[in-house]
Amino acid sequence: MSETIAAKTETFFTIEMPYRERMETRRAVFTGGDGPRVAVVGGIHGDELEGLYVCHLLAAWLEKLLLTSPGSLLGTVELYPAVNTLGLDTLTRGLPVFDTDLNRAFPGSASGPLPDRLAAALMTALSGAALVVDIHASNIYLREIPQVRINQEFDDLLVPIARRMNLDLIWLHSAATVLETTVAHSLNSCGTPCLVAEMGVGMRITPEYCEQLMAGILAVWQDMGVLAPDVTIPKTSHTAMIADDSNVHYLNAQTSGMFIPAASHWTDVRRGELLGTIVSPFRGETLSEVRSPVDGVLFTLREYPLVYEGSLMARVMARKGGRS
């Protein structure tokens, strides 16, 4: 496929490899008018692919826009779909060889080892953007509904933006539980707003979630003046529920074994309802049952069946007031 003329592909980080190849990490840049600059990041974890597909959908939408109505892109859009290229190439969550979680390496250092340098280069590239959306896809173990996770330290600024993102859940995390070495925390701390979107499951693409988030991102960009107000964007129809430490219940395995779900992900469940069982591969017995502690929404569900005692199998959010 030939490269589209709509976007410029630029290298924002490069390093020489031991056998003289160069590793290059790239972004796609769609340049319009002198309005706000926004960015979308994916693939910081090499086993998470949902963000790559959201970037594809946004690129396809922008390419069409620039062909049919080039004056309607009022700002600049940067897509960083595959930040952890080594991890994506080798189906590894962290940075291979360095055995480092790249999202624990921020803000990084331009003179440190590779993970620090890559983190520093991404920070430099993103700093000053009007908005960054960092897309994650859970991991291979748990499936998540489309959501935004926000550190309460930055909720005044970020919650109103998150409400426009067409997602189903806004999960507010208390400052004490927040990891300070993530790209989002590092960017927010230095004044570049960054929202963390989390959805789907590792190693898979959930197209309907990706389309939902794409529509939300376009709506936010239109609000911000990145897109002209008269441009037709996909409809947004999702309203986010709010979760925080007070209404999220964690269900951890009481025994090791194989988790067999009995309820479907993203459904309403009743207090005491059977969500799944843990069974033995050696014997016919059920080792333990997993039941919902509250009336609520089953928003996280175990995808990978093997569990150890204490493994997370599900999260249920009790509805705050009103609907149950």
Site of interaction with Zn ion (CB under 5 A): 45, 48, 136
Minimum distance from CB of 220 to Zn ion (Å)? 21
Closest CB to Zn ion among 65 and 194?
A: 194
Distance CA 294, CA 105 (A): 37
Closest CB to Zn ion among 137 and 162?
A: 137
Integer CA distances (angstroms), 283 to 51, 209, 291, 313, in order: 41, 38, 22, 21
Q: Name the 3-class secondary structure at 317.
A: strand
Closest CB to Zn ion among 45 and 143?
A: 45
Q: Name the 3-class secondary structure at 244.
A: coil
Minimum distance from CB of 133 to Zn ion (Å)? 13
Beta strand segments in the chain, E = 8-16, 22-31, 37-41, 76-80, 131-136, 142-151, 169-173, 194-200, 241-243, 248-252, 257-261, 268-269, 274-279, 286-291, 296-302, 306-307, 312-318
Minimum distance from CB of 14 to Zn ion (Å)? 24
Closest CB to Zn ion among 37 and 173?
A: 173
Number of residue whose CB is nearest Zn ion: 136
Minimum distance from CB of 155 to Zn ion (Å)? 21
Which structure tokens are listed for 58? Answer: 């946004």
Angle of helix 207-224 relative to helix 50-68, nearest 10 degrees, comes to: 50
Minimum distance from CB of 199 to Zn ion (Å)? 11
Which structure tokens are listed for 106? Answer: 């921020």
Closest CB to Zn ion among 123 and 183?
A: 183
Minimum distance from CB of 45 to Zn ion (Å)? 4
- Which residue is listed with tokens 């409809």? 235
Pair 161, 73: CB distance under 8 Å? no
Closest CB to Zn ion among 87 and 276?
A: 87
